[in-house]
Structure 1
């Protein structure tokens, strides 16, 4: 299969591919998604098989309008408030769906579904042209770092999907915040750029504790159950910037090729010959660069260990650390006592 690189002028061609049940990757302000007609169970199933995604990991339904959501779920007053404040944008909302309105392939067998209207104009045009919502998990092989450019998508899926709508690098760099409106209190199931501080003025206090899913339990949202975002190399988190010198000395004794993923001030301490990827200067640039950095190390297959910088898990740092912890399998550098 030839995987085409679509642009604004070829959106009708990309939409036609979606209507035929084919897969088309698309840009959002967060990461690139892997799109298929959400009303076509067979097309949605092919997303799981193409990604290598567990079948009990539900898919986000990506829409171009609120009216499209209303075809499948009742829009509650809380949902209206969130949509008024944050849509289009990096917020995904879980609602109870109308019975039988979406395939169990999409919902993971649950009576709820997650809906998102992305800020990216080209993707909203694509969905409107297709005339159907599209499922939108990140366009990466399951467990690998999420893609923030069309080239990342092609690295994973060239020859396997119909095409990718290329709108350049994404802006936010980590996936959308997921808010569950079917529970009381309202809960954040996946942190993102929109956090409790932003949500409070709109809907009041939310439960921001990270929710864990049992081995035999179906997650309500992507990213809650399985290891995600992991490059081939083992990521090791350095919790305190003051520990980096000790961590560098320790990793040099492991007799394995290693790299460093950190901000510029930390990288200034790292030997030039060491493979390294800059997270910029602060949590904003680090969050934007995280997935690109994890993918960069996959292009250096000789690297088997990566020291990665932690940030305080507050505000945007909660989203950054959520992804970093999953990419590392919760492995941390342990300084000598």
Structure 2
């Protein structure tokens, strides 16, 4: 398959550029497009065969659900049913934006989209190119992140070429996304809202609209069913090929950066630590601004594989606000969290013999 690249302004796309993508969607093809969060790999959400090609292109497990994107509130009734009026009022204030809601799916949505679940994850992206593409296609788009399953999500269109060239019909080259982190996923299908995946909209912000929100450990299977009901609940992902460990001791992170444990090491860290590091260090930007850290996280996870060193280390971050989302991604991307020098020495010794496939929890 030949993959066409189109350069397009995400907030002022040309009608011709949008039309080309929409024609591909209409005939059952695959299009990589930007949103305000990450790039999506999109197909007609009402076409089971087209959605099957998403799983094939990504190497994604068939029971890992896809998020469905809509461009208007009228379209929500194509993908969901029995949505309470109280929920409609809230999402009218919050959409478009980086918030995905778990609702009961409509009969028009194939079970392939939901991984066999009767629930569907839905959102309205805050990106004009994405909205125009959906509107011109005339159908909702099923669109997980545009990466190979298990690897860091894509926040720049050209990076999608690394994974998907020859596997998709079209990739929009629209530069970096605004947030650089996937949407928050909130289950509003029951009596009490449950946070299934943290994102740019934190619990503190969402509780202003939905009241008390319960936090669910997103790696667990839903208690309601024996299958995952939303993306990211069963399989580990975001992982670089290089073994990554989190360090929850700032003093140890400083010692690693100072070269105390040798130079066969890489770091992912805030700019202030990278500036003085004696080992290769991929910058997350100003560590005092977690929104910047979040926006650079996936690019850093990709970049660390291109640095020297057999093992990589990253710090932990506070769990309030967007810090919860950052730690959710880092925890999934890493093997474990360590806190003392002896553990550092142990994992470095293991690092040179590490093979990504040896970690059974990281499903690609």
Normalised-by-shorter TM-score class? over 0.9
1:81 to 2:89 alignment:
yes
1:239 equivalent among 241, 248, 251: 248
1:327 to 2:333 alignment:
yes
1:52 equivalent among 49, 59, 62: 59
1:279 to 2:284 alignment:
yes
1:66 equivalent among 73, 84, 91: 73
Q: 1:141 to 1:178 in 2, by over 3 A?
A: same
What residue is the counterpart of 1:91 in the other structure?
A: 99
What residue is the counterpart of 1:4 in the other structure?
A: 4
Unpaired runs of 5+ residues, structure 2, are: 344-364
Question: Secondary structure of the residue that 1:307 maps to in structure 2?
Answer: strand
Query: For the residues of structure 2 that align with 1:220 and 1:330, how far apart are their CA atoms?
Result: 26
Whether the aligned pair in 2 keeps the contact of 1:78 and 1:181 (CA below 8 Å) is no
Question: Secondary structure of the residue that 1:126 maps to in structure 2?
Answer: helix
Query: For the residues of structure 1 that align with 2:251 and 2:309, how far apart are their CA atoms?
Result: 24
1:42 equivalent among 45, 49, 56: 49
1:313 to 2:319 alignment:
yes
What residue is the counterpart of 1:188 in the other structure?
A: 195
What residue is the counterpart of 1:18 in the other structure?
A: 25
Query: For the residues of structure 1 that align with 2:258 and 2:129, how far apart are their CA atoms?
Result: 48
Whether the aligned pair in 2 keeps the contact of 1:197 and 1:315 (CA below 8 Å) is yes
1:172-199 Cα shifts (integer Å, max 9, x gaps): 1110000001123110100001122111
Q: Which moved more, 1:187-196 or 1:209-218?
A: 209-218
Query: Stretches of 4+ moved more than 6 A in 1?
Result: none
1:75-119 Cα shifts (integer Å, max 9, x gaps): 323421331221100000111123x32111001111110101000
Query: For the residues of structure 1 that align with 2:306 and 2:90, how far apart are their CA atoms?
Result: 39
Q: 1:246: Cα distance to partner?
A: 3.4
Query: For the residues of structure 2 that align with 1:214 and 1:118, how far apart are their CA atoms?
Result: 26
Whether the aligned pair in 2 keeps the contact of 1:25 and 1:34 (CA below 8 Å) is yes
What residue is the counterpart of 2:213 in the other structure?
A: 206
Cα RMSD, aligned residues only: 2.0
Q: Which moved more, 1:63-72 or 1:87-96?
A: 63-72
Question: Secondary structure of the residue that 1:193 maps to in structure 2?
Answer: coil
Query: For the residues of structure 1 that align with 2:208 and 2:89, how far apart are their CA atoms?
Result: 10
1:219 to 2:213 alignment:
no
1:162 equivalent among 162, 165, 169: 169
Whether the aligned pair in 2 keeps the contact of 1:78 and 1:203 (CA below 8 Å) is no
Query: For the residues of structure 2 that align with 1:86 and 1:93, how far apart are their CA atoms?
Result: 11
Whether the aligned pair in 2 keeps the contact of 1:22 and 1:161 (CA below 8 Å) is yes
Query: For the residues of structure 2 that align with 1:19 and 1:104, how far apart are their CA atoms?
Result: 20
Q: 1:251: Cα distance to partner?
A: 7.5
Question: Secondary structure of the residue that 2:144 maps to in structure 1?
Answer: coil
Query: For the residues of structure 2 that align with 1:72 and 1:288, how far apart are their CA atoms?
Result: 30
Q: How many residues align?
A: 331
Question: Secondary structure of the residue that 1:236 maps to in structure 2?
Answer: strand
1:176 equivalent among 180, 183, 194: 183
1:112 to 2:119 alignment:
yes
Query: For the residues of structure 2 that align with 1:303 and 1:48, how far apart are their CA atoms?
Result: 33
Q: 1:214 to 1:115 in 2, by over 3 A?
A: closer
Unpaired runs of 5+ residues, structure 1, are: none
